[in-house]
Structure 1
Amino acid sequence: MSTAELDAAGVADPALRKAYLRCRALNAEHGRTYFLATRLLALTQRPAVHALYGFARWADDIVDEPGADRAEAARRLETLSRELLRGLTDGSSGHPVLAALVHTARRYDIDTTLFTDFLRSMRMDLTVHDYPNRAALDDYVHGSAEVIGLQLLPVLGTVCPATHAEPYAAALGKAFQLTNFLRDVAEDVNRGRVYLPADELAVHGVDRELLEWCTSRGRTDPRVRKALAEQHAVTRGIYRYARVGIELLHPVSRPCIETAATLYSGILDEIENADFAVFSHRAAVGTRRRVTVAAGALARAWWVRRGGRGVGAVPAREGMS
């Protein structure tokens, strides 16, 4: 099916096809929810989504590679940044992942600053370990997550001017990221990072030391439970806002984004159902739920593609805006 996607997208160059396949493999290996949702898109759209995910994953792995030297990670990120800018300027790249990203960025006219902002947040992971307030965290999240939603928007297409849909696309990326922060508190603490606003935690008597205590013992202190419940409610609100924008997307793309939003917000359900026991196990949506949601979305996607809404695939560059 992966070669059919490339054929449908008109990707013929052997080296470029190899780069797209590499990105697709990264998505399949690391992004279970995203990969499942991507399969609900039209064949022509999927390679671009794989390229965007593959780039994000490649950069993220540089930062989070176990035992990696920070100076070496910074050097690798800088090299990646230079190769990206060179590729976007030249229109091609020999990099095993950037080749697909550059092709996608030019094909869909994706703003270069969305990639440079992303790399800026990746650099922050090497030096910033705490966020004193919501504004500081939002600055990081813009580059690490909101820009991902904005990168995807030209690929997904809209039924309105793209600028009208951009706030919702950014918000959904943010909601996904904040969900990760809640799910992965213990994992992040073990990496020396806390992705929760320190001043909001302090209201409940929570600090890094208490989070480290919970992580080492696999227990959620009552004060931490209250703090996490508050962060949980904030994230729920962002999902509610972001979902409004799904109807602004091209009908072909809606089942994919509905599925991703439903499954990822389902992680919040699991966290709440476990009474915020995020230090003893990693919350995940069960296979039965994933299959049920995906099956319904697949039926909707099939109906749209077969002409139920009278629309076809989203054209490159123009979307529907």
Structure 2
Amino acid sequence: MAAASLDLHRTHYENFPVASVLLPARLRQPVAAIYAFARSADDFADEGDLPAAERLALLDGYRRELDAIAAGTATAHPVFRRLRPVIAEYRLPLQLFRDLLDAFSQDVVKTRYADYAQLLDYCRRSADPVGRLLLHLFGAATPENLKNSDAICSALQLINHWQDVGIDAAKPVPRIYLPQDEMARFGVADETVLRRTASADFLALMRFQVDRARALMLDGAPLGRALPGRIGLEIRAIVAGGLRILEKIEAVGYDVFSRRPMLDAFDWPRVMWRAL
């Protein structure tokens, strides 16, 4: 749940940590180890041109490494040699890593979401585990903090989806994360998205998605005040960055096909001012 690039990690595992300079120094290596796991597993699902069966096999290899940690047997993969001592020291729940792998495997085979509940369940496994892992690192995994973290992480995942509607539609196996029932309600067909057509109905649908993502982000925002010092500042910066992306989607009239809204160097002073 940490910001590290100017566009919420455009190229790799968009919304999550790369040991941001705002984090306490003692946490940067543990955070980097978690990020290396998440980034590499996400790449198995998304990068290159491997067939689906091979992608799933690579993710299964990561599951076997987690099973080895659970059983107390040796791990061979360099990502896990780095991650294993972090899991042990901070008693990180292995199920959170398994949830991430389940979400990445789902990305290999699932290209449509029937409704918002389905999409939120995907966010629960693809995004929320990272925030929960960080709260365990911080020693702050209280029920209230976990609830607010989930809201922030799910909102960040949704924001990334809405940034990337056009990019996801143009993949070799196109994905549409917009809920199918809401597309039907707004009169938006799959072909509208796949052809990257910014119709009036599509723009209205995107406005609805932006408003809901903002409300979810604001629901979780109290976490940034609940946690102390640089950790709280880090979270407030993440929230401010996500909200700024939503403003930029609005600024292009919700036409994410013509231009991918992303943070640039001019946005960060505003983000940090809001965080402070």
The 5 A counterparts of 1:43-58 are: 43-58=25-40
Output the CA distance in 2 between the equivalents of 1:293 and 1:87.
39
Larger radius of gyration: 1
Q: How many equivalent residue pairs?
A: 266
Distance, in Å, in 1 between the alignment partners of 2:80 and 2:225 is 31
CA change 1:247–1:294 in 2 (3 A) is closer
Equivalent in the alignment of 1:132:
114
Match of 1:282 among 254, 257, 260: 260
Q: Which residue identity does 2:229 align to in structure 1?
A: P
Distance in 1 separating the partners of 2:16 and 2:114: 30
- 1:117 paired with 2:70, answer no
Q: Is the 8 A contact 1:131 1:197 kept in 2?
A: yes
Q: Secondary structure at the match of 1:211?
A: helix
Cα RMSD (Å): 2.3
Shift of 1:296: 8.1
Match of 2:213 among 205, 217, 235: 235
Distance 2:200 2:19 in 1: 36
Question: For each residue in 1:242-274, what CA deviation from the matched residue of structure 2 results, as whole angstroms up to 9, or x when unmatched?
Answer: 101222223331111111221122111111101
d(CA) in 1 for partners of 2:223, 2:215: 14
Q: Is the 8 A contact 1:92 1:99 kept in 2?
A: no
Structure 1 equivalent of residue 4 of structure 2 = none
Task: Give, in angstroms, the shift of residue 291 of structure 1.
Answer: 4.3
Unaligned runs of 5+ in 2: 1-8
- Hey, what's the Cα distance between the residues in 1 that align with 2:255 and 2:86? 40
The AA in structure 2 aligned to 1:288 is F
3-state SS in 2 of match to 1:288: coil
Residue 143 of structure 2 aligns with an amino acid whose one-letter code is T
**CA distance change for structure 1 residues 28 and 137 in 2, over 3 Å: closer, same or farther?**
closer
**Residues 1:82 and 2:69 aligned together:** no
Aligned to 2:6: none
CA pair 142-176 structure 1, distance change in 2 beyond 3 A: same
Deviates more, 1:105-114 or 1:93-102: 93-102
Between the aligned partners of 2:10 and 2:34, the Cα distance in structure 1 is 13
Distance 1:84 1:63 in 2: 18
Q: Note the C-alpha offset of 1:37.
A: 7.3
SS of alignment partner, residue 125 of structure 2: helix
- Work out the CA distance in 2 between the residues paired with 1:196 and 1:165: 28
Which has the larger share of helix?
A: 1
Q: TM-score scaled to structure 2, two decimals?
A: 0.88
Task: Answer whether contact 1:92 1:103 (CA < 8 A) is retained.
Answer: no
**Deviation digits for residues 91-130 of structure 1 (CA, Å, limit 9, x no counterpart):** 7633222222222222111111111111111111111110
CA contact (8 A) 1:179 1:268 kept: yes
- Residue 317 of structure 1 corresponds to which residue in structure 2? none
Report the 3-state secondary structure (helix = DSSP H, G, I; strand = E; otherwise coil) of the residue aligned with 1:67: coil
Residue 128 (structure 2) aligned to one of 137, 146, 152 = 146
- The aligned counterpart of 2:146 is 166
Name the counterpart of 1:5.
none
String of CA shifts for 1:27-54, please: whole Å, max 9, x gaps.
8984787567721011001111111111
Q: Secondary structure at the match of 1:130?
A: coil
Structure 1: state its 5+ residue gaps: 1-26, 301-321
Query: 2:156 aligned with 1:176, yes or no?
Result: yes
Within a 5 Å distance, the mapping from 1:1-321 to structure 2 comes to: 30=12, 38-90=20-72, 93-158=75-140, 162-191=142-171, 192-214=174-196, 219-291=197-269, 293-294=271-272
Structure 1 150/273 Cα, relative in aligned 2: closer, same or farther at 3 Å? same
1:70 deviates by 0.6
